[in-house]
Amino acid sequence: MSKSERLFELLTLLRSKRYAVTANALAVELGVSERTIYRDVQSLLLSGVPIEGEAGVGYLLGKGSHLPPLMFTEEEMLALELGMKMVEAWSDKRLASASESASRKIHSILPEHLKAQIEALPLAVPAFHVESDHAERGDVLRAAASGKTKVRIEYETGEKVASERVIHPLGQVYWGKVWTLVAWCELRDEYRNFRLDRIKSVAVLDESFETSATKNFQHFMSLCCEN
């Protein structure tokens, strides 16, 4: 990232904390060296950001450094936090990382009483899925759907029947326990659902596909609602 982006991320990270954070912890969080953190803190200080603390002790934003709070009610903010925890636990690694980053940015401009309430949120979403093989495949398939790229999959049904298909990935649906891939199957020439945990392998092909009014994710979902 550029220096301006890094300074914004550093400021966001400091805003999200209620206590002093060491340069080492900041460096690990941002993926840079401690020396870079020291230079960036100096840059923020020179630009007028009230940062308290020093090297070896930790850094904390002083008074007057917070932006006005977002216009969320307490329950709205708790709902957002729970939703982001679900994304972190039950999506793929890239979305989990994006959700964590978004959560940190929102925390950075919350009033203290809401920060404290979120930290004490009595709801947990264990992250068992995000490190799994099918979560990684979900990441690949999500990218293929966005890029409208065909993929070849090896699939095994619940009855242990194996097959190989060339499909057009259109989107994914989370049912509270498993993710399913919605795709257009070239073999059947129609929509098919594939559970991610039953996909044994994914190969992205060097071929693109086109969607249409009767072949896209929203159309499939509308058909589900009709039934």
pLDDT in tens, 17-36: 878 899 999 999 899 999 99
pLDDT of residue 161: 93
Tell me, what amino acid is at 201? S
Per-residue pLDDT at 35:
92
| Integer Cα distance of 31 and 28 in angstroms | 5
Buried b (16+ CB within 10 A) or exposed e, 80-104: bbeebbebbbbbbeebbeebeeebb
Q: Give residue 13's identity as a one-letter amino acid code.
A: L
Q: 105-140, pLDDT tens digit by residue?
A: 888 777 777 788 887 777 777 766 666 777 888 889
Give the span between the Cα atoms of 67 and 65, in whole angstroms: 7
Which tens digit of pLDDT belongs to each residue from 62-107?
875 554 445 567 788 788 888 888 888 888 888 888 888 888 888 8
Distance of CA 95 to the CA centre of its chain: 2
* CA–CA separation, 105 and 88 (whole Å): 15
Handedness of CA 129, 130, 132, 133 (dihedral sign): positive
pLDDT above 70 coverage of the chain, percent: 93
Place of tokens 């966005």: 146
d(CA 168, CA 103): 33
C-alpha distances in angstroms, 61 versus 67, 148, 164?
Answer: 12, 45, 56
Above pLDDT 90, what percent of the chain? Answer: 42
Position 184 confidence tier, pLDDT thresholds 50, 70, 90: very high
**pLDDT score recorded for residue 94:** 87
pLDDT(143) > 90: yes
Rounded Cα distance between 4 and 197, Å, is: 41
Closest C-alpha among 26, 19, 31, 29 to residue 41? 26
Exposure on the CB side of residue 95, measured as CA atoms within 13 A:
22
Q: DSSP assignment of 14-69, as one string?
A: HHT-SS-B-HHHHHHHHTS-HHHHHHHHHHHHHTT--EEEETTTEEEE-TT-PPPP
**CB atoms near residue 106 (< 10 Å):** 20
* CA–CA gap between residue 123 and residue 109 (Å, rounded): 22
